[in-house]
Amino acid sequence: MDRADLPLDVKLMTLVTRGLVMVFVVLCLGVVGTWIARHPVWNLRAITVQGEVSHQNAVGLRAQLAAQMRKQLSASFLTVDLQLVRALFQTVPWVREARVQREFPNRLRVTLEEHQAVAWWGQAGSGQLVSRLGEVFEASPDDGDGLPELAGPVEQAPQVWALYQTLSAELGRLEMGLVRLELNERGNWRAELDNGAHIELGRGTPEDLLERTRRFTATLGQLTQRYPGALQTVDLRYPNGYALRVQGVTTVTEDDPKKPTPTR
């Protein structure tokens, strides 16, 4: 008999039977899948940590993450939330990025990338540092005495660090160390040298600021020969020159003793 000739109730029963069989198969697959996922063979046995761990060790990491990781370790190899584990490791000081991978059949491998501190952010000892990528992070170095200070809006930390490198290289040609570079809320730049002298750089692009600094360093040799170690402040905000104040030397006009004289 052609299926088209079957009574309607028979057709309905056939459809219902097929539907029930499909539901049964799906349920069976679900039960089997759940059993497999919960089998003891998939229980997490260990988490291996590798990569840049100069500021961390296995004991320290376990102590810092013990409470948060307890729930994840109770999960199975198949169901553990890798993104959550990654986020937990990235809360540890000095850790910039964590990559988490499953290792068959019951291990996790965590590869850490640490921040490389190049400067303090704000003030020395503030608990905030700047990495070589210009990122601000919270940590306390074992020895931060030799780190310069950078300051400004946090979102502009990469620009502050980039300009520091540029100006430091230029000043370093004359053996002058740049120990602090600051960008205030008005967009003005200010630097401090290792001899205590301050430099007002003003506003502008990095190219503008570098050009002003070069204009100053081009004639600095003559000044240091005449007055070694006497430099106190330098103002580079003049369009065609700069002004300075030298300890023990009068470089101001008689009409306005507070205003330094531009030097060309």
Q: How many CB atoms sit inside 10 A of residue 11's CB? A: 12
**Is beta strand 231-235 parallel, antiparallel or unpaired with respect to 242-246?**
antiparallel
Q: 98 is in which domain, residue-wise?
A: 42-114
What is the tally of structural domains in the chain? 3
Q: What's this model's pTM, rounded to 2 decimal places?
A: 0.74
260 forms beta bridges with 252
Could you report the per-residue pLDDT of 87-135, keeping only the tens digit for each?
989 988 899 999 999 888 888 899 999 999 999 999 998 999 999 999 9
Q: How much of the chain, in percent, has pLDDT values that exceed 90?
A: 40
108 and 220 inside one domain: no
Residues 125 and 237 in one domain: yes
Domain identity same for 145 and 98? no
> Same structural domain for residues 169 and 204?
yes
User: Which pLDDT score, from 0 to 100, does residue 73 have?
Assistant: 63
Are residues 176 and 195 in contact, defined by beta-carbon separation less than 8 angstroms? yes
- Please indicate, yes or no, whether residues 18 and 146 belong to a single structural domain of this protein: no
- Mark whether 167 and 242 lie in a shared domain: yes
Say if residue 109 is in the same domain as residue 147: no
Same domain, residue pair 192 and 164? yes
Q: Which residues lie below 8 Å from residue 38, measured CB to CB, with a gap of 6+?
A: 76
